[in-house]
Amino acid sequence: MHRRILYGLTYLAATLSLAHHIDHVIRHNAVGWPLTGEVNAFTMSLIIYPIIITGLLLYRAGRVGPGFWALVSGGGAVFVSLVHFGPTAVEPPAMMLHGYDSPIVGWLAFTLLVTFVTVLAVTSLYETRLWWQQHQERRTLKPAAGAEGKP
């Protein structure tokens, strides 16, 4: 059940990430390498796809658990928030809202971004709770297993 939800949330976040990158490409503002010669936040953010693919393979093999995904989605939420929101934002909401000729499309792009960050944040909290549960279960099982081994 939890595994299925975790996969679902990961695919949802990856889809929203891809949609946001496509939005950047269409607007053609705040883009970097490989579309321009500049290496910027856009370029760095592309690293998320190899991380997701590697993470999915490792998760399937049982090498990483919810803690890994909590870090990836939580880190993603912080990174995207810093780039887009707040006083140090390099691409504030106005750039998206006014990035298209049609204001409706600008609002759709902005809504997509807000949904994306929200999904990352909620996913990170869900995975943190799963990680904590597993951590507690392991702690509960360890002494019990030790007690069974005693004469």
Partner 1 sequence: MTAATPPAMQPSGNAANEVEAASVVLEGAPLPVATRIGLWVGVQLVVAGLMIASGAVPAGQALNAAAGWWIVYAGVVDLGTLGVIIWLIRRQGHGISYRGLLGPPAALWQVGLGALGVLAATVPAVVFSTEVTKAFYGDATLPMFAMVDVPVWASVFAVLVVPVLTELAEPVAYLGGLLPWLERRIGRSWLAAAAVVVIWAAEHAFAPFLTADGGLDLVFAGYRVVSVLPFLAVWTALYYAFGRRLLPIMVARWVFNGGTALAVALNLV
Q: Report the interface residues with partner 1, using CB under 8 A.
A: 1-2, 77, 81, 84-85, 93, 97, 110-111, 113-115, 117-118, 121-123, 125-126, 128-129, 132-133, 136-137
Query: How far is C-alpha 113 from the chain's CA centre?
Result: 12
DSSP, residue by residue, 31-42: --TTTSS---HH
The single-letter code of the amino acid at 131 is W
The alpha carbon dihedral of 35, 36, 37, 39 has a sign of negative
- For residue 129, how many other CB atoms are within 10 A of its CB? 13
Name the residue nearer to partner 1 (CB basis): 36 or 133: 133
Report, in this order, helix, strand and coil percent for the chain, each rounded to 5: 75, 0, 25
Contact indicator for 31, 96 with CB cutoff of 8 Å: no
Quick check: 107 and 96 in contact, CB under 8 A?
no
Q: How far is the CB of 144 from partner 1 (least distance, A)?
A: 14
